[in-house]
Chains A and B, each alone.
Chain A
Amino acid sequence: MKTIPTPAFRLRQDYAGQDGHPPKGGAQNQIPSRPACREGQGRIGISIAVMVLWCLAFALACRLLNRPELQKHAGAGLIAEVLGETRLEVSELFFEQADLVFHRGAGHFHRQVLDDWFTRMRKEVAPSGHFHLHNRGVLEIMPWLYFAAHADPRNVTAYTVAAFWLAGEAGRPDLAEGVLDEALRNNPGDYRVYMEKGNLAVREGKYAEASRFFNAAQVLFRKTTGGDKEQLRIDLAEILTYRGLLYELEGDPARAARNYREVTDMFPGRLRLKERMLELEKKLHAATPPEELLDAILLQRRVMCAENEDVKREE
């Protein structure tokens, strides 16, 4: 059987005698022949060339990574580096899993096309119905929100939802604040983080702090381009309403009324807000104290969050 001799085999042959054994006759005979010397020199040349190329590639990589736009991604973490753009989908999947956990594993409602044995068995095996986790049980969604946020640090919704439930059902505003700080580090220009921080501050009764956050949210909102237009309108209305109530607390009913007018221009159906605006414009104060209204809004927001989830699932 013929085999193709490898370079290493050829080298061994060069060092060996005709019969394949080392040649007898002392050190002089062990000096490699001329072709072997040339081959060795060639290898050294290749090695040097590889080293030089490697050094050049390393230098180029260092140079490129010094560019600010690439440094921005450097902090995205190992998951982001490994998954690339896929992380956006992965993050969404984790977020959906959080939703599933919130509904105790009962999946989305689908109209049954077939009513065969397999469909019936699937229905028996898989949990179905409409349930929510309550109290501290809600915390079980946190790992999935954590995974969603770490798969895509720009998934602001994952952070804000986590902060909302941590501050509410879990009674851990300190942890919620930590989550929002992390969100802010990863998304310094996103108004939603400031909006949630403002909500958290209102919940804790830190109204001055809340005003600062809502002001920042309002400024960043103006710079926001793209996104769901309807959601943007709803968010702006929320920022303006909160800020209006905080203006009332600060003793500035005129600015509060201006904010409410902006909201009612966007949503003419908000009659109670319209009444409040008129009251402020006429009497400079409203019958319901702003603190009471802030509490009511926070409570309503909690209910609406759960309801919105259900509406999205049924869609």
Chain B
Amino acid sequence: MIKTLVIAQQVWRETLRRKDLYVLFILLLAFFVALMTLNVFGLKSLVNHIKELGLLLVWIFGWFLTVGVSARQLPQEEKSGTIFSLLAKPVGRAELLIGKWLGASSLAGLATFFFYIILTGIVVARGGNFSPVLAAEAFLLQFCFIGVLAALGLLFSARMHGDAAATLTAVLSVAAFLLLPQAPQWSANLDGWQRQVLLAVYYALPHLEIFDLRRRMVYDWEALRLETLVMIIAYGVLMTAAFLLIAWLAYRNKKFSRDIL
């Protein structure tokens, strides 16, 4: 456990040193300032568009950060050669993977939490508000989403170059988020093996859209039922565990050569 936490701590240090986070914070603030100075047909105190665009940005930035941090962890260790000194210590590859996942997902989760705080501050300053229960639920589900995404990034980076892993994670997750919910509608127009293949893809890929509570938050709907919330969280945990397991299977016998460094 301690070893895992130490590895997670290293992920934090490395990411904070790279200053990606600060850039994202500054970008977010710049965007909010631009949004607040917008003169919409001479109307003031409109807040829903700030909520909507703000949450969209929080999601995009969280997504970007998670993919960026998780997919580069293992390839970076291999590229710099630190993987040899790391594995020379009594650290198992499973511990290494879990430590990296913990570091990446906790960092991205905390950054997202701060993004939420900034957004809430802006919304309150404009005279709007968020339902606290719904905001907590939304953050919790987004945190689960980050966990799944970080595990997916690690899975691809276990056998790929960092950039390739990041690209594949981004493409797959965006496709899963945007296109997968449409698959049942498309399958209605197909038959035979095409329908079967489409439905197989539909069930095999992670359903990331169910972690998204943005619309409920923006339009002040009631909070999610506890039963539903627990089921979605359980699904997130299951997907994360499955991806980490596959990542471990791919990584456990991987051979590293000093010659290719």
Contact = CB atoms under 8 A, between A and B. Distances in A.
Interface in B186-245: 187-188, 202, 207, 209-210, 212-213, 215-216, 218-219, 221, 224-225, 228, 231-232, 235
Interface string A90-108: 0000000100010011000
Contacts of A143: 38, 40, 46, 48-49
Nearest to B50: A143
A175 B212 CA distance: 36
Given A142-B41, A162-B41, A122 B48 contact: no
B185 interface: yes
Interface string B45-58: 01111001000000
Contacts of A110: 185
A228 interface: no
A104 B220 CA distance: 8
Nearest to B212: A125
Interface in A128-154: 139-140, 142-144, 146
A266 B218 CA distance: 45
A30 interface: no
Given A113-B187, A144-B49, A125 B216 contact: yes
B43 interface: yes
A142 B209 contact: no
Interface string B100-131: 00000000000000000000000000000000
A185 to B, nearest CB: 14
Contacts of B43: 139, 142, 170, 172, 175
A178 B212 contact: no
Interface string A156-180: 0000001000100010100100110
B185 A113 contact: yes
Interface residues of A, number: 29
Nearest to A110: B185
Contact of B46 (A112, A114, A139): A139
Contacts of A230: none
A118 interface: yes
B218 A105 contact: yes
A121 interface: yes
B184 interface: yes
A122 B184 CA distance: 12
B126 to A, nearest CB: 12
A122 B41 contact: no
Contacts of B216: 105, 125-127
Given A121-B232, A140-B48, A144-B49, A126 B215 contact: yes
Given A105-B215, A142-B41, A122 B49 contact: no
B189 to A, nearest CB: 10
Contacts of B188: 113
The interface centre, meaning the residue of B41, B46, B48, B188 with most chain A CB atoms within 10 A of its CB, is B41
Nearest to B216: A127
A29 interface: no
A105 B48 CA distance: 11
Contacts of B209: 122, 125
B42 interface: yes
A119 interface: yes
B48 A124 contact: no
A122 B202 CA distance: 14
A123 to B, nearest CB: 10
Contacts of A178: 41-42
Contact of A125 (B41, B46, B185, B224): B224
30 contacts: A101-B48, A101-B52, A104-B221, A105-B215, A105-B218, A113-B187, A113-B188, A118-B202, A121-B210, A121-B231, A121-B232, A122-B181, A124-B225, A125-B213, A125-B224, A126-B216, A139-B46, A140-B46, A140-B47, A140-B49, A142-B46, A143-B40, A143-B46, A143-B49, A144-B49, A146-B40, A175-B42, A175-B43, A178-B41, A179-B41
Interface of B: 38, 40-43, 46-49, 52, 181, 184-185, 187-188, 202, 207, 209-210, 212-213, 215-216, 218-219, 221, 224-225, 228, 231-232, 235
Given A139-B46, A146-B40, A175-B43, 5 more contacts: A118-B202, A118-B210, A143-B38, A170-B43, A175-B42
